Amino acid sequence: MNNAQVFQYNGNPVTFQTGDATMVNATQMAKPFGDSKRAKNWLVLNQTSEFLDVLSKGRNLPLVDLVQVTKGGSNPGTWMHEDVAIEFARWLSPQFAIWCNDRIKELIKYGITATPQTIDNILADPGNAIKVLTALQAERKRNQRLEEENKGYHAEHMRLLKEKFHHEQTIDKQAAKIKEQKPKVEYAENVLSSADTYTTTQIAKELGMSAQKLNATLFHLGIQFFQGGQWFMYAKYQDKGYTKSKTYTYQKKDGRVGTMLATVWTEAGRMFIHNLIKKM
């Protein structure tokens, strides 16, 4: 092994040694993936033995040149030929395999010890070294930016999914709570109606949902709140003409007659709810 180049993968160093071929420190490669993803675990697999045998014959390389184990010294660990390292990286993680492949390509394309032509170009024109390193830096930054954008997209996607799940769970729980707590109001919803007003049940049916679901949604959106057996609009909506209060009578279990206020919706309130739900 000749010259070493250390790259960072998610904060973990991975050393590439350049010479006649690129050798990669497989011990470092496996470290981020836990004890079950050790180099020795992969090397004992039947498919690994078959792969090494075919590669050895195809490249005309002895097996000892494909996998080398170094104990002690300045380069300890299991080292793999670049072709073997890519196969090992694919077993560790497809994303990691792509990352390793990109690093090997960079060494071949820009490494001054990897390609004799690059060395000749630099010797003939020292300024070419600056061009090569500048191009390498630009490519590394571009790849890093793409990786960060992909991570950012994934994180935002997961956040939106969690937010949607939480929102739906909150509405479902509130609907269940309302259903349990307000039998009298449910009765009022079913018996109170007129030509110029609508019950929540009527509007909910127009929207293809239950009254409990609609009430819970309006509560979650900060439109109304439940108190004393009746729904009330929050202050910012009270003077909009969206609702009216009506009194109805009902018979108690002991035979007495009781009265209760119930909230019904005006035509303006009905349109407000329809427009609100359409925007969700």
- Give the tens place of pLDDT for each residue, 196-250: 788 899 999 999 999 888 988 998 888 988 876 778 888 888 888 898 877 767 6
**Is the domain of 113 the same as that of 189?**
no
Q: Point out the domain boundary residue: 56, 90, 124.
A: 124
In a domain, 233, yes or no: yes
Question: Strand, coil or helix: what is 61?
Answer: coil
Query: Within a domain: residue 119?
Result: yes
Do 184 and 117 lie in one domain? The reply is: no
- pLDDT tens-place string over residues 259-272: 766 778 999 999 99
Average pLDDT (157-179) is 67
Which range of residues forms the domain containing residue 257? 180-278
- Tally the domains of the chain: 2
Q: Is residue 166 part of a domain?
A: no
Residues 206 and 115 in one domain: no
Q: Are residues 120 and 184 in the same domain?
A: no
Residue 144 lies in a domain: no
Which range is least confidently modeled, 147-151, 181-185, 231-235, 268-272?
Answer: 181-185
pLDDT value of residue 31: 92
What separation, in Å, do the N-terminal and C-terminal C-alpha atoms of the chain show?
62
Q: What is the pLDDT of residue 192?
A: 47
263 and 184 belong to one structural domain: yes
Among the three residues 124, 139, 157, which one is the final residue of a domain in this structure?
Answer: 124
In a domain, 141, yes or no: no
Whether residues 20 and 114 fall in one domain: yes
Identify the domain boundary among 89, 107, 124. Answer: 124
- To the nearest 10 degrees (0 to 180), the angle between helices 127-181 and 116-124 is 120
pLDDT at site 70: 87
Judge whether 262 lies within some domain. Answer: yes
Say if residue 198 is in the same domain as residue 86: no
Q: Rounded to an integer, what distance in angstroms lies between the CA atom of residue 155 and that of residue 163?
A: 12
